[in-house]
Amino acid sequence: MADLSAITPIAYLKGVGPQKADVLKLELQLFSIGDLLQYYPFRYIDRTKFHKIKEVHADMVGAQILGRLISLQELGEKRGKRLVAQFRDDTGSMELVWFQSIPWLKKSLKVGSAYIAYGKPTAFNGQVSITHPEMELFDNKEKKIGNLTMQPVYSSTEKLKKFNLDTKGIQKLQQTALEAILRSLQEPLPEYLLEKHKLIGYQQALLSIHFPQTVHDLNAAIRRLKFEELFFIQLRLLRNKQLNTQKYRGHRFDQVGNSFNTFFNERLPFPLTGAQKRVMKEIRLDTNTGAQMNRLVQGDVGSGKTVVALMSMLLAIDNGYQACMMAPTEILAQQHFAGISALLGEDICTVKLLTGSTSTKERRIIHQQLEEGTLDILIGTHALIEDKVKFKNIGFVVIDEQHRFGVEQRAKLWRKNSIPPHMLVMTATPIPRTLAMTMYGDLDISVIDELPAGRKPIKTVHFFENQRLRVFGFMRDEIAKGRQVYVVFPLIKESEKMDLLYLEAGLENLQREFPLPNFKISIVHGKMPVKDKDFEMQRFVKGETQIMVATTVIEVGVNVPNASVMIIENSERFGLSQLHQLRGRVGRGAEQSFCILMSGNKLSKEGRTRLETMVRTSDGFEIAEVDLQLRGPGDISGTQQSGILEMKIANLTSDQAILSEARNAVIEIFKEDPGLAQQKNGRLVAYLAQRGPNISWDKIS
Nearer to ligand ADP, 299 or 395 (CB): 299
Nearer to Mg ion, 421 or 557 (CB): 557
DSSP 653: T
Q: Which stretch binds ligand ADP (CB under 6 A): 221-229, 282-290, 299-307, 489-497?
A: 299-307
* Cα separation, 342 vs 330, whole angstroms: 18
- Binding ligand ADP by CB under 6 A: which of 36, 205, 307, 644? 307
- When CB distances are held under 5 to 8 angstroms depending on the partner's kind, the choice from ligand ADP, Mg ion, none that residue 276 binds is ligand ADP
557 belongs to the binding site for Mg ion (CB under 5 A): yes
- Binding ligand ADP by CB under 6 A: which of 306, 329, 417, 427? 306
Nearer to ligand ADP, 335 or 599 (CB): 335
- Binding ligand ADP by CB under 6 A: which of 104, 192, 270, 535? 270
276 belongs to the binding site for ligand ADP (CB under 6 A): yes
Q: Is 699 helix (H, G, I), strand (E, B) or coil?
A: coil
- What is the Cα Rg of the chain in Å? 30
> How far is Cα of residue 248 from the mean position of the Cα atoms in its chain?
28
559 belongs to the binding site for ligand ADP (CB under 6 A): yes
Which residues are CB-contacts of 415 (< 8 A; sequence separation ≥ 6)?
none
Q: How far is the CB of 308 from ligand ADP (least distance, A)?
A: 8
Q: How far is the CB of 235 from ligand ADP (least distance, A)?
A: 33
b or e along 587-597 (b: 16 or more beta carbons within 10 Å of the residue's beta carbon)?
bbbebebbbbb
Give the x-and-dash track for 215-254 against ligand ADP (CB under 6 A): ----------------------------------------
* 435 touches 263 (CB < 8 A): no
Nearer to ligand ADP, 299 or 441 (CB): 299
Nearer to ligand ADP, 170 or 458 (CB): 458
Nearer to ligand ADP, 354 or 451 (CB): 451
305 belongs to the binding site for ligand ADP (CB under 6 A): yes
Nearer to Mg ion, 581 or 681 (CB): 581
Q: How many CB atoms lie within 10 A of CB 287?
A: 26
- Residues 414-433 within binding reach of ligand ADP (CB under 6 A): 428
DSSP 289: S
Q: Which stretch binds ligand ADP (CB under 6 A): 268-276, 484-492, 501-509, 547-555?
A: 268-276
> How far is Cα of residue 629 from the mean position of the Cα atoms in its chain?
10
Nearer to ligand ADP, 340 or 423 (CB): 340
Q: How far is the CB of 621 from Mg ion (least distance, A)?
A: 17
Residue of minimal CB distance from Mg ion?
557
Q: How far is the CB of 580 from ligand ADP (least distance, A)?
A: 12
* Cα separation, 609 vs 483, whole angstroms: 30
- Residues 433-472 within binding reach of ligand ADP (CB under 6 A): 452
CA atoms within 13 A on the CB side of 359: 3
* Cα separation, 556 vs 582, whole angstroms: 8
> Residues in contact with Mg ion, total (CB under 5 A)?
1
Q: How far is the CB of 573 from ligand ADP (least distance, A)?
A: 24
299 belongs to the binding site for ligand ADP (CB under 6 A): yes
Nearer to ligand ADP, 60 or 268 (CB): 268
* Cα separation, 670 vs 281, whole angstroms: 24
Q: How many CB atoms lie within 10 A of CB 646?
A: 9
Length of the chain: 701
- Binding ligand ADP by CB under 6 A: which of 588, 627, 687, 700? 588
Q: How far is the CB of 492 from ligand ADP (least distance, A)?
A: 24
Closest CA to 512 of 552, 463, 547, 461: 547
> Residues in contact with ligand ADP, total (CB under 6 A)?
16
Q: Which residues pair with 694 in a beta bridge?
A: none
Nearer to ligand ADP, 428 or 665 (CB): 428
* Cα separation, 594 vs 563, whole angstroms: 10
* Cα separation, 175 vs 143, whole angstroms: 15
DSSP 363: H
Q: Is 395 helix (H, G, I), strand (E, B) or coil?
A: strand
- When CB distances are held under 5 to 8 angstroms depending on the partner's kind, the choice from Mg ion, ligand ADP, none that residue 323 binds is none
- DSSP H helix total and E strand total for the chain: 23, 22
41 belongs to the binding site for Mg ion (CB under 5 A): no
- When CB distances are held under 5 to 8 angstroms depending on the partner's kind, the choice from Mg ion, ligand ADP, none that residue 588 binds is ligand ADP
Nearer to ligand ADP, 263 or 514 (CB): 263
Nearer to ligand ADP, 146 or 271 (CB): 271
- Binding ligand ADP by CB under 6 A: which of 119, 304, 421, 432? 304
Q: How far is the CB of 434 from ligand ADP (least distance, A)?
A: 23
The pairing of beta strand 563-568 with beta strand 594-599: parallel
Nearer to ligand ADP, 172 or 455 (CB): 455
Q: What interhelical angle do 215-247 and 682-691 show, nearest 10? A: 70
Alpha helices in 461-553 (DSSP H): 468-480, 497-513, 530-541
Q: How far is the CB of 559 from ligand ADP (least distance, A)?
A: 5
Q: Which amino acid is present at 67?
A: G
Q: What is the DSSP string of 117-183?
A: EEE-EEEETTEEEEES-EEEE--SSSPPGGG-SEEEE----HHHHHTT-SHHHHHHHHHHHHHHHGG
Q: How far is the CB of 299 from ligand ADP (least distance, A)?
A: 5
- When CB distances are held under 5 to 8 angstroms depending on the partner's kind, the choice from Mg ion, ligand ADP, none that residue 452 binds is ligand ADP
Q: Which amino acid is present at 520?
A: K
Closest CA to 404 of 429, 377, 379, 424: 429
Closest CA to 462 of 580, 608, 592: 608
Q: How far is CA 45 from CA 109, 116, 212, in A?
A: 20, 10, 11
Q: How far is the CB of 268 from ligand ADP (least distance, A)?
A: 8
List phi, psi (to 5°) of 363.
-60, -45
Q: Which stretch binds Mg ion (CB under 5 A): 282-290, 480-488, 556-564, 632-640?
A: 556-564
- When CB distances are held under 5 to 8 angstroms depending on the partner's kind, the choice from Mg ion, ligand ADP, none that residue 633 binds is none
Q: Which stretch binds ligand ADP (CB under 6 A): 271-279, 534-542, 607-615, 654-662?
A: 271-279
- Residues 160-219 within binding reach of ligand ADP (CB under 6 A): none
Q: Is 10 helix (H, G, I), strand (E, B) or coil?
A: helix
* Cα separation, 15 vs 164, whole angstroms: 11
Give the x-and-dash track for 143-182 against Mg ion (CB under 5 A): ----------------------------------------
Give the DSSP H or E segment for 452: none
Nearer to ligand ADP, 302 or 380 (CB): 302
* Site for ligand ADP, rule CB under 6 A: 270, 272-273, 276, 299, 301-307, 428, 452, 559, 588
* Site for Mg ion, rule CB under 5 A: 557
